[in-house]
Amino acid sequence: MLKELINHLADPIFSFPIATIAFYFMIKYYKVFGSKKFGIGAIIVAIPVVAWLFADPNFYLIIKTPDNVPIGILLILVAWSTWFSMHKASINDERIEQGLGPVEGLPENREKVWSWPNLVYTELFAIIACTAFLVVWAIIFKAPLEEPANPTWAPNPAKAPWYFLGLQEMLVYFDPWMAGVVLPGLVVGGLIAIPYIDTNPKGNGYFTFSERKWAITSFLYGWLVLWVYLIIVGVFFRGPNWTFYGPFEFWDLHKVVAEYNINLSEFIWIKGLGTGMPKNLVLREIFGILLTIGYVGFIPVWVARATNFGRKFYTDMGAIRYYIFMFLFVTMMSLPIKMFLRWLFSLKYIVALPEWELNL
């Protein structure tokens, strides 16, 4: 019964809201999350839970594959680094509230060392340790090599490398050119633009959260929930035919899931107005076009004029940097919005113009 419940809750329609809620509480109570008691308690709870998970043959079958083992280790490192950064930030924030300044500013922490031999020796030992680890790794886990490529046969499921599985999962909710080109391009461009958009000097050289709440929250949500979560789903929960499988569910090649998709124009013209689809392409998709323009163009203006934090951002950043930031932010938030629309209304595209190769 418990495993069936976990399989049910692992479905993205439930697990994504759960991940978002968990992220909210992590940010709201970051000092609790970053405490040593929480870290030690999480390890104590995780050990028997992981042992119970590995006892299930279906779960173990997916986790033990040579492709997935390093991903599990990376996820542990992501969890640890997130906790460690919040731990350091909570300590500094308490010191800042007391007027003491961050720990990194103490005289004993500002000691300078020579690149040679201090840094070079440390890097040398790190290289040797990594080489030894990779040698042992290659002996224990065989490389998942398959037969030469066959153009008449493709594996099922056909998966990209793990670092692209977040993009592959986005194909469920977006058109290929959006999920594979536009959104990744905006992510890379946004990361490059961050130093020019966010010129706030606070937080440079030391851990803090209270001084950079909005920047850290928006970045971590995009990183943990909108990227790492999608990789987890793509790696561990997407089986044959890209069908979702729970962590304790056997990957049955013949599993069939009855689903249907409907575009916004069909939803409005056929279901809402009870008429046929207009032959004019622009008229057919006019509702989606206006909704998209309003989402991208109206929301940034409304936030700047109607909210206190929006006015503050606009004043601090200036018009150009503010609207670039808001464009990147609303584009990022289009992913969870599109996911919920797909789950709740089976909505495929807001604007469906395959004639122009434009689907949003």
Could you tell me the two tokens for 317? 């950043």
Q: Is the pTM of this model over 0.85?
A: yes
pLDDT at residue 271 in the model: 85
Q: Which residue has tokens 């010191």?
A: 95
pLDDT at residue 211 in the model: 87
State the CB neighbour count (10 A cutoff) for residue 352: 20
Could you tell me the two tokens for 312? 């503050």
> Is residue 157 within 8 Å of 171, Cβ to Cβ?
no
Burial state string for 246-272 with b = 16 or more CB within 10 A and e = fewer than 16: bbbbeeeeeeeeeeeeebbbbbbbeee
Domain boundaries, the chain: 2-102+206-242, 114-143, 264-359
pLDDT at residue 23 in the model: 94
pLDDT at residue 100 in the model: 84
40 vs 175: CA distance, rounded Å: 43
pLDDT at residue 12 in the model: 87
pLDDT at residue 179 in the model: 85
- In terms of Cβ atoms closer than 10 Å to its own Cβ (0-12, 13-18, 19+), residue 145 is exposed
Alpha helices in the chain (DSSP H): 2-10, 12-28, 30-33, 36-54, 57-63, 69-97, 120-140, 165-170, 176-177, 183-197, 213-220, 229-232, 264-266, 281-284, 286-293, 299-306, 308-317, 319-345
pLDDT at residue 177 in the model: 86
Digits of tens for pLDDT over the chain (360 positions)?
A: 788 888 888 888 899 999 999 999 999 999 999 999 999 999 999 999 889 988 888 888 888 888 888 888 889 999 999 999 999 999 999 988 888 888 877 777 777 778 888 889 899 999 999 999 988 888 887 777 777 878 888 788 888 888 888 888 888 888 888 888 888 888 888 888 888 888 888 878 888 998 888 888 988 998 999 899 999 998 888 888 888 888 888 888 888 777 778 888 888 888 888 888 888 888 888 998 999 999 988 998 898 888 888 888 888 888 888 888 888 888 888 888 998 888 888 888 898 888 888 888
Residue count of the chain, please give it. 360
346 vs 359: CA distance, rounded Å: 16
pLDDT at residue 44 in the model: 93
